[in-house]
Amino acid sequence: MSLFPELVLASHNAGKLKELQAMLGEHVRVRSIGEFSSVEAEETGLSFIENAILKARHAARLSGLPALADDSGLAVDALGGAPGIYSARYADGAGDAANNAKLLEALKDVPDAERGAQFVCALALVRHADDPLPILCEGLWHGRILHAARGEQGFGYDPLFWVPERDCSSAELSPSEKNQLSHRARAMALLKQRLGIV
């Protein structure tokens, strides 16, 4: 039995809610912050961890429930870790296709050997809005950036992210395969250990 029979997820993303509920199993009921408010947290942190904590505290304050937040993105070695915490807004909010195009342009002269990257997921769980001891878990998924998009699955930078252990792009993995390998899956595995969820 989990310490947290019910959590609020600091996200309005239905896909993320479904993914995290599947990873946590039936011992924890995950509710969307959208049930309580449409107000988004201001992501003013300078790291994935800081933004995850800000979002978790915001969700706990609005819902009165323990809250889980994740902040995720892509960190490209040749770009000094960019787009990083700005991954979703890399092309000024113009969407996934624009973000991917901007990334390919930024790396156009970078050889394969220097195109290393990692997807990053930082999870923060707070018992209440002013929790002095948030539970923090991080997951990294190492790969490299392709020269052109491949695959139809996934979202975001998945078509450009080469997964060495599967010899394909992230967008060529089935959803169940991605849920076993991804940065979010790795962070969730750590969180489940911390919470005693088998």
Residues 31-85 have pLDDT tens digits of 999 999 998 899 999 999 999 999 999 999 999 999 999 999 999 999 999 999 9
Single out the residue of 144, 160, 155 nearest to residue 178, CA to CA: 155
Over residues 123-149, the mean pLDDT reads 97
Q: Would you say residue 198 has pLDDT above 70?
A: no
pLDDT value, residue 1: 40
* Rounded Cα gap, residues 4 and 101, in angstroms: 41
Q: Which residues are annotated as a binding site for substrate?
A: 11-16, 72, 155-158, 178, 183-184
- The DSSP result for 65-134, as a single string, is S-EEEEEEEEEEGGGTT-BGGGGGGTTTT--HHHHHHHHHHHTTT--GGG-EEEEEEEEEEESSTT-SS-
* 91-121 residue pLDDT tens: 998 999 999 999 999 999 999 999 999 999 9
CB atoms within 10 A of CB 182: 23
Confidence grade of residue 2 (pLDDT, cut at 50, 70, 90): low
Which residues are part of the catalytic machinery? 71
Q: Of the given ranges (25-29, 32-36, 126-130, 191-195), which has the lowest mean pLDDT?
A: 25-29
Q: Which residues are annotated as a binding site for Mg(2+)?
A: 42, 71
